[in-house]
Each structure stands twice: as structure tokens, then as C-alpha cells.
Amino acid sequence: MPYTFTFTNKAKKEFLKLESNVQRLIRIKLTTLKNQPDLVQKTKTVQDLLPATHRLRISNYRLLINFEKEKVIIYRVGHRREVYKKKL
């Protein structure tokens, strides 16, 4: 079951502000993870960041996500120092 990744408007803006090499790295990782049946096991849960329930680590960057069946909604994209500080 392939997953589809959907960015919220805020996450899309954050993604586009990143350097092009970081954007490429994230795209490659998401493409690789799209067909992984155990994607949920490759993520870690987060506390007090609803609606995001999990985080995905890509180098020094984090994606705050939530799973809805085969759909993965990306709520935040940012450097690990910054991504947890701001409200969703």
C-alpha cells in the first residue's frame, strides 16, 4: 500500500523556504518511504503537538506528521532546533 504525502499550506511554505539541497534531500526520502509498508515503525511519536502525532527524521530536519490510512499529512517542516518551538 503506497502512502501519499500531503503538505498543509504552512508546511509547504516552510518547505519552500529551505535551501534547495535540503528540499532535494527531503523529496528523495519521501519518495523512498512512499512504498514502505512499515512507515509507522520508522517514525517516532511526539507529545503535545496535536494535530501532529509523529515525527520523521531526515538529517537535521524534522517533519511533523499524522497518519490517516494511506495518507500522511505533513504539518511542519524545519530544522530540529526550530520545528518544536512554534505552534502548529
pLDDT of residue 34: 85
Closest Cα partner for 32 from 5, 10, 13, 8? 5
Cis peptide before 37 (omega within 30 of 0): no
* Residue 75 confidence (pLDDT) above 90: yes
Domains of the chain and any CATH numbers: 4-79 (3.30.2310.20)
Q: How confident is the model over 52-69, as a mean pLDDT?
A: 91
List Cβ<8 Å contacts ≥24 apart for 30-33.
30/5, 33/3
* Residue 61 confidence (pLDDT) above 90: yes
pLDDT tens-digit readout, 22-41: 999 999 999 988 888 788 88
* pLDDT bucket at 15, cuts 50 / 70 / 90: very high
pLDDT of residue 1: 63
First to last CA, the chain: 28
